[in-house]
Structure 1
Amino acid sequence: MSGDPSVLYIKAILDAFTAAIFAITLGIMVAFIAIPQTLVQLTLFFLAMLVLPLTTPDMRADFSALGGLMMLMTGFRIMGIKSFPVANMLPGLLLVMPVSHFWAVYIAH
């Protein structure tokens, strides 16, 4: 959304390591998830151009914070430290920006 591809490069490297770990534990089926994952990521990439004008820096920061928290929880799950239900947190990615906007407009002003 920011136009800076460096974040995408870093995330691609993290995804490669995560995919390797999942491939070791889950087998060849991990390779087949690449097709729908690519479609979802391309859709998000193109929708970002439509969403960016509607967002504020605070909304984007909240979205990034949630993404970072989910990545941390995924790491804990992969390492076997704590098993968080990360898939249950995916709807939060859709809700974080409207909630952030509501908070900024109606509560924090």
Structure 2
Amino acid sequence: MLPIGSLVNAGAIVLGSLIGCALHSRFPERFRSIVFQGLGLGVLLLGFQMAFKVQDIIVVLFSILLGGILGELLRLDRLFDRLGNSVKKRLGSANPKFTDGLVTASLIFCIGALAIVGSIEEGIRNNPTILYTKAILDGFASIALASSFGSGVLFSALPVLIYQGTITIGAGSLENVLSTTLIDQLSATGGLLIVGIGLIILEIKEIRIANLLPALVMVGPLQWLAQILRAL
């Protein structure tokens, strides 16, 4: 099936990014700085809101720890930087924040319950309403992100489309796997990663978020293992 919701979501990101890029060139440095700080605080709030959905903090904690170790072994941060710099080079962009904008926006837009639940809802029930709502939120967020990071945010529409579209198309096989508890655990883990992004934006602490991404893959197996141990 055609992932209409994801297409609309990607289109909203492109539109918002174009508006943000237009504002970026007109903002004096002091305005860009305050927007950047406000954006960082907003990202922190989003991350904490998601993180508080945690159902089993031990599962989330071990997911972050084991995922971080795996990410370091795979050096995902270098992979993301190479991909971002490759896109930047092909486009001939001189924006020093291009790769940061692309990676940061992609993580913010892809990590979260709305992306997962909305894509599954469209895939199973042919109802893209949740993704339409997400498109509005992401559209406004991309204005703020692009006004700070520049054109790299625009190209985050592509990973969003691929990620959510893949979930929508494969939703039938995921219906019986993703329980409400598991989605909450994924949201809480993703929320912690988004808190990390907020700390980076505010220049409080440099965190290799890309290397922590495998934590999202660890949540499912660890949640399943925790359920088995409780049943013993």
Question: Under a length normalisation based on structure 1, what TM-score does the superposition of the two structures give?
Answer: 0.71
Looking at structure 2, the residues matched to 93 and 8 of structure 1 have their Cα atoms a distance apart, in angstroms, of 24
In the alignment, does 2:154 pair up with 1:34?
A: no
Number of equivalences: 107
Q: Which amino acid aligns with 2:225?
A: F
Looking at structure 2, the residues matched to 83 and 104 of structure 1 have their Cα atoms a distance apart, in angstroms, of 35
Equivalence for 1:100: 223
Equivalence for 1:24: 148
In the alignment, does 2:180 pair up with 1:57?
A: yes
Q: 2:166 aligns with which of 39, 43, 47?
A: 43
- Match of 2:225, SS state, is helix
Q: Structure 1: give runs of 5+ residues left out of the alignment.
A: none
**How far off its partner does 1:19 sit?**
6.7
Residues 10-50 of structure 1: CA deviation (Å, up to 9, x unaligned): 5762575257435633x434323322332222112333442
Looking at structure 1, the residues matched to 205 and 132 of structure 2 have their Cα atoms a distance apart, in angstroms, of 27
Looking at structure 1, the residues matched to 132 and 196 of structure 2 have their Cα atoms a distance apart, in angstroms, of 20
- Match of 2:176, SS state, is helix
Q: Structure 2: give runs of 5+ residues left out of the alignment.
A: 1-116, 122-126
Shift of the 69–47 alpha-carbon distance from structure 1 to 2, 3 Å rule, reads: farther
Runs of at least 4 residues off by over 6 Å:
none
Looking at structure 2, the residues matched to 88 and 65 of structure 1 have their Cα atoms a distance apart, in angstroms, of 17
Task: Give me the CA root mean square deviation.
Answer: 2.9
- Match of 2:175, SS state, is helix
Equivalence for 1:91: 214
**How far off its partner does 1:54 sit?**
1.7
Q: Which amino acid aligns with 2:221?
A: P
Question: Under a length normalisation based on structure 2, what TM-score does the superposition of the two structures give?
Answer: 0.38
